[in-house]
Amino acid sequence: MSKTRIVFVHGMDGYGIAAWPAQHLLAGNYDCLFLKRTGFDATEPPVATDFEADARIVTDALGQGGHLVAHAQGAIAAVMAAVERPDLVKSLVLVEPALLSLTAELPATTAYREYVEPLFARSAELTDTAFSAEFRRLTASMAGTAAVRTVPAESSARIAARIHLQAPQWEAPLHIVPGVPTLVLTGGWEPLYEEIAEYLTTTGALHRMAPGGHRPHDTPAGAAMITEFIAAQEDAAGA
């Protein structure tokens, strides 16, 4: 009997299997695929964000269906794929999801956008290094309890170029996912992500918190919450 698939969609602080250090053991029980979104590669030049292409990568990876686990910006592609093909998504786990399009009118999201948007407005005037440094300073979204490096290790210039090419998260064409069991995992450190999580609970999602900065899935508690949620969906499907 074939294993159930889990597709992992990374954020900006790593890609492929390196972005999920605490989830490797799930490969013992599941068919785990650790994706690379567009522009995330160790040899190819970084390219600009392509939300639709990322969603297609996720949909293709689901094959005949499976569970989706996504972090930060990766949640955009995961949600877009789930909206397009909810029949393929057994469950959805969103870790600190950057789904700003859904909460555009709410206070923390509005404040975040007002804080960061001027940087994107000046993007063409800045070097990769200058943009990246200011982005990190403004958002602190690269800071977590466990910093993850891509494998193989990349130069600071390549990472800076990739950050400079990222589209504003609030431009993503997002809609609510219909009828898919959803867990939202946050680290309890940033009002923006807590606001997004609370909004998603109004659409039927379950919200859990595991203190761990922007990467709560790296912690034992966060990793266990993900494992237990997916196992519960498998049990429910089997019953």
3-state SS, the chain, equals CCCCEEEEECCCCCCHHHHCCCCHHHHHCCEEEECCCCCCCCCCCCCCCCHHHHHHHHHHHHCCCEEEEEECCHHHHHHHHHHHCHHHEEEEEEECCCCCCCCCCCHHHHHHHHHHHHHHHCHHHCCHHHHHHHHHHHHCCCCECCCCCCCCCCCHHHHHHHHHCCCCHHHCCCCCCCCCCEEEEECCCCHHHHHHHHHHHCCCCEEEECCCECCHHHCHHHHHHHHHHHHHHHHHHHC
Q: What is the mean pLDDT of residues 112-130?
A: 96
* Residue 10: pLDDT band with limits 50, 70, 90: very high
Residue 132, pLDDT above cutoff 60:
yes
Could you tell me the CATH number of the domain that includes residue 180? 3.40.50.1820
CB 97 within 8 A of CB 193: yes
* 203: its two tokens: 């659409």
The pLDDT of residue 43 is 87
The pLDDT of residue 155 is 86
**Which residue, 43, 38, 81, is CA-closest to 167?**
38
Q: What is the mean pLDDT of residues 161-175?
A: 96
Domain assignment of residue 112, given as a range? 5-238
Residues in the chain: 239
Q: Which residues contact 78 (CB under 8 A, 6 or more apart)?
A: 9, 58, 68, 69, 70, 92, 94
The pTM score is: 0.94
% of the chain residues with pLDDT over 70:
93
* Residue 150: pLDDT band with limits 50, 70, 90: very low
* Residue 42: pLDDT band with limits 50, 70, 90: confident
Tell me how far CA of residue 32 lies from CA of 2, 5, 23, 28, 78, in angstroms: 12, 6, 9, 9, 15
Q: What is the mean pLDDT of the chain?
A: 93
Residue 79, pLDDT above cutoff 50:
yes
Residue 145, pLDDT above cutoff 50:
no
Q: What's the number of domains the chain is made of? A: 1
The pLDDT of residue 151 is 45
Establish whether the linkage from the previous residue to 216 is cis, with ω within 30° of 0: no
Q: How far is 126 from 201, CA to CA, in rounded Å?
A: 39
**Which residue, 77, 51, 48, 22, is CA-closest to 210?**
22
The pLDDT of residue 13 is 85
CB 206 within 8 A of CB 232: no
Determine which of 23-27, 145-149, 161-165 has the lowest per-residue pLDDT on average: 145-149
Q: What is the mean pLDDT of residues 176-196?
A: 95
